[in-house]
Amino acid sequence: MDNLNGRISAWALTTFGKDFADCNAKEKYIALSKALMQDIVPRWQATEEKFEGRKRASYLSAEYLMGRALGNNLINLGQRQEVAEQLSAMGVDLNTVEQAEPDAGLGNGGLGRLAACFLDSAATHGYPLNGYGIRYEFGIFKQRFVEGFQVEEADNWLEYGDPWSIRRADEAVKISFADGDVTAIPYDTPIVGYGGETVNTLRLWKAEPLEPFDFEQFNLQNYDRAVKAKNNAETITKVLYPNDSNEKGKLLRLKQQYFFVSASLQDLLAKHKAAYGDFSRFAELNAIQLNDTHPAVAIPEMMRLLTSNEGLTWKEAWGLVTKTFAYTNHTILAEALETWDIKLYKKLLPAVYGVILKINEQLLRELKTMGVPLADVPKYEIIHDKRIRMAFLSIYGTFSTNGVAQLHTGLLINSELKDWYALYPERFNNKTNGITQRRWLLKANPELSAFITELLGSDRWITHLDELRKLEAYAEDPAVLERFLEIKQQKKYQLAAHIMEREGIEIDPHSIYDIQIKRLHEYKRQLMNAFQILDLYYRLKKDKNFKIVPRTFIFGAKAAPGYVRAKGIIKFIQEIKELVNGDPDMAGKLKVVFVENYDVSYGELLFPAADLSEQISTAGKEASGTGNMKFMLNGAPTIGTYDGANIEIVEEAGEENNFIFGLRVEEIEQIKATYKPSAEFRKAKGLKKVVDSLVDGTFSDGGTGMFKELHDALLLGADWHAPDVFMILKDFAAYREAQQKVNDAYLDRMAWAKKCWMNIAGAGKFSSDRTIKQYCEDIWKC
């Protein structure tokens, strides 16, 4: 890079008022990033010119779990080595500077990380895809553990500013709610593709008041009123997924959804109109993808903007809407198929609610024309039982509905949305999720990346992951497998050092690293994993001759602030951790770790070091999963159910190279009406003792009643579900047996290495490059 030293020094001097050498690590990170932006922005501008007149896709998502940008951008620009050398000459370690960057607090789980991977893949392969979302000031939350309980703290990721974003105040738009108007200010972040030839845009909206300060109220000494509008507006973009256990929280969530959707649509429509004069070519030049139902309000909002603001007829507007929008469904969980109480829409968005009413009336007329029996009409109603069904709105108002794994899409078509499929079979399709190998292998595991490039004689796999299939030729080569195991051991040492530093727990780098890292939800069954660990502990205590390969169980997960049962599971795992780690009999046998504040950067250490990937969701509940793909890519076999993308993983890597167990979807359907968990509770070895531990005084939940509630939910059910609704007790024995198979398989070092290697060789399908190519070619046509 030309004059990097001079640019860095200038940014340090003008931003912090001191020489670069005197800056702390965070300040050095800001100065370096600003210097790099001087190289990125011209490429960004050139990309805009390159795509002028082309059809573009816009991705509307409530989350973007981007991770750190500095290292990723340096890799994609091809400048990492050069910058590292220049900084070294200045006495600065690039790794230290990279570690100073906070993870952008813009996402929570797989939904947001998928969006980030898609943006990377689109830019890498030259597709015109821009993201739209919210610039959360504090993101989801920073997780701390206090006496084993999750405690949420504000994640001030913007404390030092964000050197990668540019505020575009000149492109602000007004958003109107029934209780007042706010301004949406766009902040643009460059998304640099690998090779640096394409730089797309992530546009995030920040809410600000129309008038930031009421001087009259201040003069009247009403100081709170003077800043009331500012506080009310900025609350909208404070936190991702605010607790919505009461009406205020629900209204805030609805405000968030409408805020970024309306701002994004106004932006798209204004730019198109400025370039083309009218909207006759809008659908020809634009595709808008709804990432789940959070942005589904875009359908009625676009109708409102086109009819009320732009003067189109209802028929003209509906034609544009249904040719422009596409919808990705990410779940079949009933509670996650989003619905809204109509009173909230009437209260906050009365004009939009009026549009939804008209859309619903239009649907009912069409159903009659199509010959749908009157008795079946409620199956389709968008407004039903005083609630708005956002998934139904998303299907009806779009030209494409896709699932995210073969099993998931099959369940949508044959079960959950079969009535809609019968109406519009041509709209349904599958797009199996993927991950970007640039972050999850090239960046996270440079040692394995270099070895793969050496074996293949090319780094083409960095942009064409299906090249990994050629690695199968080395699956029986002892020298190759030995080298792989050496790399895996190196990554395990690195993770052990990080856990010691961050968590204060010493782990055995020669033990099996058994890792479950994902959002905390009952269907993901972290509780079943916890039961299995406790059972293993009891077996080791009872039988001194019982031998196992030393095992380190690692969890990472955040529970939503209002999800009390999920928080109870975290506390239970923490109690098991204290029991196991505090018992001298377990030294050299078992260790439990629950990493604090799991995020993308922690994941970059966890995935490469893993020996075993825990993907144990109840069959039919995990739409796809992407963590399973990251583990696979880094050479960790899956222990998991026949669920989500696990099915496709074992198809690609071989079931013999993974550990599949438990009930399948069709088996659950057959037994769920007559299933009695109390019988299972007593039949499965070791199960009763671990379940009883929730209520027999073995562990303390601090008097909260959390553990009894968990216990009763399993055996008695709750007012909203049957007992053991996620089949934890039913699958326990099979899971226990699968874990024994893992133990036995690990004893044969070379055979285990082959399983790992075949997973890497089979990972080519799971690149987000393949997924985004399918979106572009099959859905967006761009």
Kindly state the average pLDDT of the residues 125-153: 96
- The active-site residue, picked from 518, 558, 755, 765, is 518
> Do 532 and 486 belong together in one domain?
yes
Kindly state the average pLDDT of the residues 457-486: 98
Confidence of residue 223 (pLDDT cuts 50, 70, 90): low
Asked if 674 is an active-site residue, the reply is no
Confidence of residue 4 (pLDDT cuts 50, 70, 90): confident
- The active-site residue, picked from 330, 408, 488, 736, is 330
- Please give the mean pLDDT across all residues of the chain: 95
Amino acid occupying residue 491 = K
Distance, CA of 495 to CA of 774 (rounded, Å): 35
> Do 109 and 17 belong together in one domain?
no
CA angle 302, 342, 174 (to 5 degrees): 40
Strands 199-209 and 180-192: antiparallel
- The 10s digit of each residue's pLDDT in 619-630 is 999 999 999 999
- Which tokens sit at 728? 């934890």
Q: How many CB atoms lie within 10 A of CB 227?
A: 16
CATH code at position 57: 3.40.50.2000
- Which tokens sit at 176? 């109107």
pLDDT of residue 232: 87
Count up the domains in the chain and report the number. 3
Distance, CA of 341 to CA of 593 (rounded, Å): 41
Kindly state the average pLDDT of the residues 555-575: 96
- The 10s digit of each residue's pLDDT in 683-699 is 899 999 999 999 999 99
Higher-confidence position of 105 and 487: 487
HEC string of 271-333 equals HHHHHHCCCCCHHHHEEEEEECCCCCCHHHHHHHHHHHHCCCCHHHHHHHHHHHEEEECCCCC
Q: Which of 185, 224, 180, 176 is nearest to 208 (CA)?
A: 185
| pLDDT higher than threshold 80 for residue 278 | yes
| Contact indicator for 200, 129 with CB cutoff of 8 Å | yes
- Which tokens sit at 416? 């959950």
Asked if 518 is an active-site residue, the reply is yes
Confidence of residue 520 (pLDDT cuts 50, 70, 90): very high
Contacts of 411 (CB under 8 A, 6+ apart): 332, 403, 620, 665
Confidence of residue 350 (pLDDT cuts 50, 70, 90): very high
| Contact indicator for 303, 594 with CB cutoff of 8 Å | no
pLDDT of residue 222: 67
Kindly state the average pLDDT of the residues 540-563: 96
Distance, CA of 20 to CA of 10 (rounded, Å): 8
Assign residue 97 a region: left if phi > 0, alpha if psi is -120 to 50, beta otherwise?
alpha
> Which residues pair with residue 592 across a beta bridge?
553
| Contact indicator for 729, 621 with CB cutoff of 8 Å | no
| Contact indicator for 539, 636 with CB cutoff of 8 Å | no
Please give the share of the chain, as a percent, with pLDDT higher than 70. 98
Distance, CA of 767 to CA of 441 (rounded, Å): 11
Assign residue 726 a region: left if phi > 0, alpha if psi is -120 to 50, beta otherwise?
alpha
Q: Return the H-helix or E-strand segment holding 120.
A: helix 110-124
Higher-confidence position of 27 and 215: 27
Asked if 525 is an active-site residue, the reply is no
> Do 155 and 35 belong together in one domain?
no
Q: What share of the chain is helix, strand, coil (3-state, %, to 5)?
A: 55, 15, 30
- From first CA to last CA, the distance across the chain in angstroms is 33
Distance, CA of 275 to CA of 48 (rounded, Å): 14
| Contact indicator for 391, 382 with CB cutoff of 8 Å | no
Amino acid occupying residue 212 = P
pLDDT of residue 227: 63
| pLDDT higher than threshold 70 for residue 215 | no
Kindly state the average pLDDT of the residues 84-106: 94
pLDDT of residue 712: 96
| pLDDT higher than threshold 70 for residue 220 | no
Distance, CA of 398 to CA of 426 (rounded, Å): 12
> Do 15 and 126 belong together in one domain?
no
Q: Return the H-helix or E-strand segment holding 565.
A: helix 564-581
Distance, CA of 148 to CA of 572 (rounded, Å): 8
> Do 473 and 424 belong together in one domain?
no
Beta-strand ranges (E) seen in 91-170 are 129-134, 142-146, 149-153, 166-167
Up-side HSE of residue 647: CA atoms within 13 Å toward CB? 20
Kindly state the average pLDDT of the residues 192-205: 98
Distance, CA of 740 to CA of 541 (rounded, Å): 17
Higher-confidence position of 218 and 171: 171
- The 10s digit of each residue's pLDDT in 290-336 is 999 999 999 999 999 999 999 999 999 999 999 999 999 998 766 66
Q: Return the H-helix or E-strand segment holding 202.
A: strand 199-209
> Do 55 and 151 belong together in one domain?
yes
Amino acid occupying residue 62 = A
Asked if 174 is an active-site residue, the reply is no
Asked if 510 is an active-site residue, the reply is no
| pLDDT higher than threshold 80 for residue 500 | yes
Distance, CA of 390 to CA of 386 (rounded, Å): 13
- The active-site residue, picked from 558, 589, 630, 765, is 630
| Contact indicator for 530, 689 with CB cutoff of 8 Å | no
- The active-site residue, picked from 626, 638, 641, 771, is 626
pLDDT of residue 218: 64
Amino acid occupying residue 306 = L
Q: Return the H-helix or E-strand segment holding 450.
A: helix 446-456
CA angle 657, 333, 324 (to 5 degrees): 100
> Do 161 and 55 belong together in one domain?
yes
Kindly state the average pLDDT of the residues 427-440: 98
> Do 88 and 181 belong together in one domain?
no
Asked if 711 is an active-site residue, the reply is no
- The active-site residue, picked from 524, 571, 577, 730, is 524
pLDDT of residue 217: 65
Higher-confidence position of 559 and 2: 559
pLDDT of residue 140: 87
- Which tokens sit at 87? 């900084």
> Do 196 and 345 belong together in one domain?
yes
pLDDT of residue 335: 61
Distance, CA of 538 to CA of 687 (rounded, Å): 11
> Do 110 and 43 belong together in one domain?
no
Let me know if 447 is exposed, middle or buried by CB neighbors in 10 A (0-12, 13-18, 19+). Answer: middle
| Contact indicator for 345, 254 with CB cutoff of 8 Å | yes
> Which residues pair with residue 186 across a beta bridge?
205
| Contact indicator for 589, 511 with CB cutoff of 8 Å | no
> Do 90 and 227 belong together in one domain?
no
Q: Hunting for tokens 């575009």 — which residue is that?
A: 168
- The 10s digit of each residue's pLDDT in 392-429 is 999 999 999 999 999 999 999 999 999 999 999 999 99
- The 10s digit of each residue's pLDDT in 12-36 is 999 999 999 999 999 999 999 999 9
> Do 176 and 300 belong together in one domain?
yes
Distance, CA of 366 to CA of 359 (rounded, Å): 11
Q: Which of 202, 193, 199 is nearest to 78 (CA)?
A: 193
> Which residues pair with residue 35 across a beta bridge?
none
Q: Hunting for tokens 């070379």 — which residue is that?
A: 750
| Contact indicator for 359, 299 with CB cutoff of 8 Å | yes
DSSP letter for 639, please.
E
- The active-site residue, picked from 28, 34, 80, 519, is 519
| pLDDT higher than threshold 90 for residue 216 | no
DSSP letter for 767, please.
B
Residue 31, domain extent: 1-50+68-102
Residue 450 C-alpha from the chain's centroid: 28
| pLDDT higher than threshold 80 for residue 228 | no
